[in-house]
Amino acid sequence: MIERERQETGRIVYSCTGDGKTLRNILEEELNMSSRFMSKLKKTKTIYVNGKFKKFDYKVSSGDIVDIVMEEEESGFDAQEIEVSVKYEDFDMVVVDKPPFMVVHPTKSHDSGTVANAIANYFQSKGYQIRIRFVNRLDMNTSGLVMIAKNPYAHHIISEEMKSNNVVKKYRTIVKGVVKDDEGTIDEPIYRPTEDSIMRTADPRGQRALTHYSVMERYEDASLLDVRIETGRTHQIRVHMKHIGHPVIGDELYGEADENLIGRQALHAYSLEFSQPRTKEKARVSADIPQDMQDLIWKLKKRG
């Protein structure tokens, strides 16, 4: 049983409720730890039972307290004073609302001014010494919710939840044309033609991708959609919308840019639902669509 009141970012406290299990059983079966993470604990000798270091074959008893210390690490990114909107935080996770035009982490073409730089500064201001581990990423011109794990345990658990489609990811997007059906599912594999290709295509040779959508509003020649994705393929929503003949407005890669309407693709990750890695309590985080998409909706309504 996880002892919620005793949890810290770099520490897991577990109360044993039965006799006969080994420490390895607890780590694998109760805490769902990966072999890689367990190997690190073994190497650093940072796992204790009732305050004393124990090996994995140690048999625990009911009432024993297993205490796991996760060594803190540097963030790995330069801290920069960039405002960041934190929508959720606990001892394991931070969820931020990424504005449009901001890159998630530094690249050759964007070596500063990223979400990673902003979060490094945020952690530093709170006195945290934490390595930044992104659970999900968004394209530079897509706005919305980005998850960051504060420790390797949380990163592993949430990443596995992502792979199992247990994290509910919802988006709002505005697409070209009037979508006829009130709702639908796009089940089309997404393929990368070449290793250096930026674009993806809907192609049987690719990986399966599932996108569910429903129409919220229809305009003269556009539609506002609520979208839920079960998989997380690169550019998934953008590729699928193009595939059904309704590319995202402003998407210069899969449609066409239209500076008169909006300066980027009209796509926003507005909702995440997940289970807290340790307590398993349900969390739902949301972020309002940004002003440029609100302005786009106003322009489309004014047209028709």
Q: What is the pLDDT of residues 120-159, one digit of tens each?
A: 999 999 988 888 999 999 999 999 999 999 999 999 999 9
pLDDT exceeds 90 at position 185: yes
Mean local confidence (pLDDT), 169-192: 97
For residue 75, the model assigns a pLDDT of 67
Tokens, residue 79: 């801290």
- Per-residue confidence band for 7, with pLDDT thresholds at 50, 70 and 90: confident
Which of 33-42, 72-81, 236-245, 250-259 is modeled with the greatest confidence? 236-245
- Of the CA atoms within 13 Å of residue 76, those in its CB half-sphere come to 12
Cβ-based neighbour number of residue 171 at 10 Å: 25
Active site residue 19: no
Mean local confidence (pLDDT), 268-280: 95
Mean local confidence (pLDDT), 197-225: 96
Cβ-based neighbour number of residue 107 at 10 Å: 10
- Per-residue confidence band for 72, with pLDDT thresholds at 50, 70 and 90: low
Cβ-based neighbour number of residue 110 at 10 Å: 13
For residue 5, the model assigns a pLDDT of 59
Q: Which helix (H) or strand (E) holds 15?
A: strand 11-15
- Quick one: which of 88, 70, 73, 46 has its CA closest to 154? 70
For Cα atoms 236, 242, 246, give the angle at the middle one, nearest 5 degrees.
120
Cβ neighbourhood burial of 281 (10 Å; 0-12, 13-18, 19+): exposed
Residue with tokens 């247990």: 166
E strand segments, 158-238 = 168-176, 183-187, 190-191, 201-202, 210-218, 222-229
Domain 85-303, classified CATH 3.40.720.10, yes or no: no
Q: Is the pTM of this model over 0.75?
A: yes
Q: What is the mean pLDDT of the chain?
A: 92
Query: What are the start and end residues of each CATH 3.30.2350.10 domain in the chain?
Result: 85-303
Pick the range with the lowest mean pLDDT from 7-11, 191-195, 212-216. 7-11
Rounded CA separation 159/174 (Å): 29
Given the residues 67, 139, 251, 292, select the one marked as catalytic.
139
pLDDT exceeds 80 at position 3: no
Contacts of residue 41, Cβ cutoff 8 Å, sequence gap at least 6:
27, 47, 68
pLDDT exceeds 70 at position 4: no
Cβ-based neighbour number of residue 49 at 10 Å: 20
For residue 18, the model assigns a pLDDT of 81
- Taking only the tens place, the pLDDT of each residue in 239-249 is 999 999 999 99
Rounded CA separation 115/87 (Å): 14
- Taking only the tens place, the pLDDT of each residue in 22-66 is 999 999 998 989 888 888 888 889 999 999 999 999 999 999 999
Q: Which residue type does 232 have?
A: G
| % of the chain at pLDDT higher than 70 | 97
Residue with tokens 């730890």: 33
Residue with tokens 């949301």: 286
Contacts of residue 202, Cβ cutoff 8 Å, sequence gap at least 6:
188, 189, 190, 191, 239, 240, 242, 243
Task: Report helix, strand or coil for 92.
Answer: coil
Cβ neighbourhood burial of 43 (10 Å; 0-12, 13-18, 19+): exposed
For residue 287, the model assigns a pLDDT of 98
Whether the CB-CB separation of 112 and 78 falls below 8 Å is answered with yes
pLDDT exceeds 90 at position 288: yes
Could you tell me which CATH class the domain 4-69 is placed in? alpha beta
For residue 1, the model assigns a pLDDT of 67
pLDDT exceeds 70 at position 102: yes
For residue 128, the model assigns a pLDDT of 87
